Amino acid sequence: MDALPQPPNSFWAAAAHSIGGVFTSYWRHRQLIFQMARRDVIGRYRGSILGVAWSFLTPLLMLLVYTFLFGVVFKARWGGGTVESRLDFALILFVGLIVHGLFAECVNRAPGLILQHASFVKRVVFPLEILPWIAMLSALFHSAVSLAIWFTFAAVTKASVPSAPQITELRLNLPCASRR
């Protein structure tokens, strides 16, 4: 007679077992995860005129709009107040928006993952634990495209983007924050 697996004795043992199980499942189903993430990225733009090119155009246009809006209209800049600092401000803002977009896309898609993939959920052998990985890889693709556009823009404009410790020390000079 086969013995049934016993539950772990403590909360931490159960947590370690379940976290290890998530990564084991990821590794076991990695081919399926990558195929479904690719399908998710392509399916997002299906039926549009430019197709997947929108994943490149959207961040590019967003970076150009933020550069114009914060550099020319609001004249927002980092501590020095030079023209280059206006570009730096737009680039730093865009990096923050990339990170925010990644987090927001994962969090906003999480509640509807099972409903979105109802046909897969009804199948008995489909591994439900891979659905968050699919959404995360799709969001990572869009973030990687945005980051590539950011690096290209920073290289073309030869912007001097400060490091993270320097950013925390700088004072933001927004027109609405000015007391003059």
Q: What is the CA radius of gyration of the chain?
A: 22
How confident is the model at residue 180, as a pLDDT? 44
CA–CA distance from 26 to each of 4, 118, 130 (Å)? 25, 20, 7
Instruction: Please report, for the chain, the start and end positions of each structural domain, with discontinuous segments joined by +.
Output: 48-177
How confident is the model at residue 179, as a pLDDT? 46
How confident is the model at residue 161, as a pLDDT? 62
Tens of pLDDT, residue by residue over 6-58, are 555 555 555 556 777 778 888 888 999 999 999 999 998 888 888 889 999 99
Tens of pLDDT, residue by residue over 81-119, are 555 567 777 888 888 899 999 999 999 998 898 888 888
**Residue labelled with tokens 């030079």:** 82
Q: Return d(Cα 5, Cα 3) in angstroms, integer.
A: 6
How confident is the model at residue 123, as a pLDDT? 74
Tens of pLDDT, residue by residue over 118-131, are 888 887 788 888 89
How confident is the model at residue 11, as a pLDDT? 52
How confident is the model at residue 105, as a pLDDT? 94
Q: Is it the case that residue 75 has pLDDT exceeding 80?
A: no
Q: Other C-beta atoms within 10 Å of 63: how many?
A: 22
**Residue labelled with tokens 């690096």:** 151
Q: Return d(Cα 20, Cα 67) in angstroms, integer.
A: 44
Exposure string for 113-139, b = 16+ CB within 10 A, e = fewer: eeeebeeeeeeeeeeeebbbbbbbbbb
Q: Return d(Cα 58, Cα 76) in angstroms, integer.
A: 23
pTM of the model: 0.74
